[in-house]
Structure 1
Amino acid sequence: MTNANARTTITTVTLNAAIDKTYYMPAFVKGKVSRAAKVVSTAGGKGLNVARVLKQLGHAEVAATGFAGGYNGQFIVNGVKEAGIRSEFVAIPGESRLCMNFIDEGDGSSTEVLEPGPVIGEDQLERFKRELQRLSAESALVVFSGSLPGGTAPALYAELIALSRAAGADVFLDTSGESLVRGVTALPSFIKPNEDEIVSLLPDSHDGDLREGIRKLMAQGIPIVAATLGAEGAVAGAGGRIYRVRIPKIEPVNTVGSGDSFVAGYAYGHVRGWPIEECLRYAAAAGSANALSETTGDVDPREHARLLREIAVEEWL
């Protein structure tokens, strides 16, 4: 087996990949015919956003896997390759989904419509597991992101995390709902729940204190717990300590994908062995830079470098 210390590849897993379509509209009025002023389409899904941002930040070896079907699936695979990411998607029958984001340029509001995606059969899932085992054996880190596709069990992420770890890879998990609740039982190295999800992970906790919730999750064996808070930055726990991350005020263009960009930034520092504070600064700058782009999961390295100088990370005692 490859020496884990010599591995440099980061593999992202997007089981329910999509074409992300962002519609910029002068006004979005329910029940009326609306015309888009501009449409931006990208190969999407949370894991692919992570992969693309990792490449933009300068990480050389990035692989992406998951399921891809039909014409939409071919668009996704082509988009991955054009971004310089190694495509390791498993082909399936059916059509990969569309995820649509309607941005009202009048008030800046965003309305998302997410298709469910294709149902995955047992044979296709077994093929994917073999592919994941191979990729994990050559990866420093495997990042699992997004929703589970139809036909799979809520405990699937927990199973896949165990598979990747057995092959010698470190593991991050960024999902929600029951798949998050089940996934954390496999003790990934990093999770990024929001405030409400921390409550769902700790149903016996009634104090509503974000810091206390993060401490309890770390005590359960999860080394890094980060909660992004939009314009308020982030709160994270690592090494038994709690950190407050403050970001500069910006005028966001499209915030979809900012959480994924945060994960990419953290992963970039994590595989390089950076201190926690530096990983968090890099992550927060990536999340903020994404919000300045019209494209989902897109970070301009120049904006990232500028924002890095304005991010404050301090221990929250």
Structure 2
Amino acid sequence: LRDCLKKEELQFTSVHIEAETRQAAVIISQNDKKVTSFLSENPTVTDKEIDEMKSRIEKMILNCEMVVISGSSPSPNSAELIPFTIKLANELDKISVCDYYGNNFDEVINSSPTIMHNNFNEVEESLNIKLQNEKQITDFLNTLYQKGIKRAFLTNDGNEFYAQNFDYRYKIFPPKINSIDSTGSGDAFVAAVIYAWRKGFVFEDSLKFATACGALNAESFEVCQVAIDDIISLKEKVKIEPIGKKMKIIDDSPHQE
């Protein structure tokens, strides 16, 4: 991981833990176009190690514009790092992007990240709720808005999915693709959401851009290796349908004067 970060020329800091970090085996079958992953058990993280991570987060967050929280917690006690980071970002007026699930997901939602992404399964399993029809989905999105979450994305593999910008909701129809492996498509989607925010895209354009990026990722065994020209080409095939409350087309980009 360190080598990958250095190759990408990314600055990083890490906290050494006493337990062994988990190992993973990824088996790729070119003939069947299938990927199978095997993961060892999660490590144990001590309270001292968690406190050290909190200290580093407090220092790093001062110098950043956006805070991205992605994945799940390796151990129950380390789950507190997620709401801790979101609340700190809010206090310092930083944009927080949360792509997380786990047993404390309800606490994470109550912490009010600026932007949230999850797939249907993560939400259903973490909160023990059902998202089987449009009313259940829009009710959940409304709950997120009431909690102070400004933008929310609920993806559903390659199927139609839902998004919310403040209290305006949308149903999105991804383009048809030749899906090989969807591993990393959620990460690609979130990366595109962040890119679009930084570039000042209006919401619907950012939605098309992110949807195309996630779809293109699924066309390859490579993870998050998507060409921007391909995204720009495919995004025109993404269909968006407003749900409920209608809004005039305005420039809602994050960097408008």
User: 1:285 maps to which residue?
Assistant: 212
Q: How far, CA to CA, are the matches of 2:33 and 2:121 in structure 1? A: 24
Q: How far, CA to CA, are the matches of 1:316 and 1:135 in structure 2? A: 39
**Is residue 119 from structure 1 mapped to residue 26 from structure 2 by the alignment?**
no
Deviation at residue 218 of structure 1 after TM alignment: 1.6
Instruction: Say if 1:109 and 1:277 are closer, same or farther in 2 by CA, change over 3 A.
Output: same
Deviation at residue 231 of structure 1 after TM alignment: 1.6
User: 1:223 maps to which residue?
Assistant: 150
SS in structure 2 at match of 1:177: coil
Count matched residues.
Answer: 242
Q: How far, CA to CA, are the matches of 2:132 and 2:22 in structure 1? A: 39
Deviation at residue 315 of structure 1 after TM alignment: 1.5
Q: How far, CA to CA, are the matches of 2:48 and 2:128 in structure 1? A: 36
Q: How far, CA to CA, are the matches of 1:117 and 1:144 in structure 2? A: 18
State which of 275, 278, 281 in structure 1 corresponds to 2:202. Answer: 275
State which of 168, 191, 197 in structure 1 corresponds to 2:116. Answer: 191
Q: How far, CA to CA, are the matches of 2:167 and 2:140 in structure 1? A: 12
Consecutive unaligned residues of structure 2, counting only runs of 5 or more, are 245-257
Deviations 1:140-168 (A, max 9, x none): 11011111122624443112211233233
Identity across matched positions, percent: 23
User: 2:55 maps to which residue?
Assistant: 130
Q: Which structure exhibits the higher relative contact order, with contacts defined as CA atoms closer than 8 Å and separated by 6 or more residues? A: 1
Worse-superposed segment, 299-308 or 195-204: 195-204
**Is residue 84 from structure 1 mapped to residue 22 from structure 2 by the alignment?**
no
State which of 2, 23, 26 in structure 2 corresponds to 1:98. Answer: 23
Deviation at residue 296 of structure 1 after TM alignment: 2.2
- Give yes or no for contact 1:136–1:168 (8 Å, CA) kept in 2: no
SS in structure 2 at match of 1:142: strand
RMSD: 2.5
Deviation at residue 180 of structure 1 after TM alignment: 2.0
Instruction: Say if 1:120 and 1:102 are closer, same or farther in 2 by CA, change over 3 A.
Output: same
User: 1:180 maps to which residue?
Assistant: 105
Q: How far, CA to CA, are the matches of 1:146 and 1:186 in structure 2? A: 17
Q: How far, CA to CA, are the matches of 1:159 and 1:206 in structure 2? A: 28
TM-score when scaled to structure 1? 0.68
AA of the residue aligned to 1:301: I
- Give yes or no for contact 1:173–1:190 (8 Å, CA) kept in 2: yes
Consecutive unaligned residues of structure 1, counting only runs of 5 or more, are 1-75
Deviation at residue 134 of structure 1 after TM alignment: 1.8
Deviation at residue 175 of structure 1 after TM alignment: 1.4
SS in structure 2 at match of 1:235: strand
Deviation at residue 99 of structure 1 after TM alignment: 3.2
Instruction: Say if 1:202 and 1:294 are closer, same or farther in 2 by CA, change over 3 A.
Output: closer
Q: How far, CA to CA, are the matches of 1:199 and 1:217 in structure 2? A: 14
Q: In proportion to residue count, which structure has more strand?
A: 1
SS in structure 1 at match of 2:98: strand
User: 2:159 maps to which residue?
Assistant: 232
State which of 291, 297, 307 in structure 1 corresponds to 2:234. Answer: 307
Q: How far, CA to CA, are the matches of 1:86 and 1:268 in structure 2? A: 18
Instruction: Say if 1:292 and 1:222 are closer, same or farther in 2 by CA, change over 3 A.
Output: same
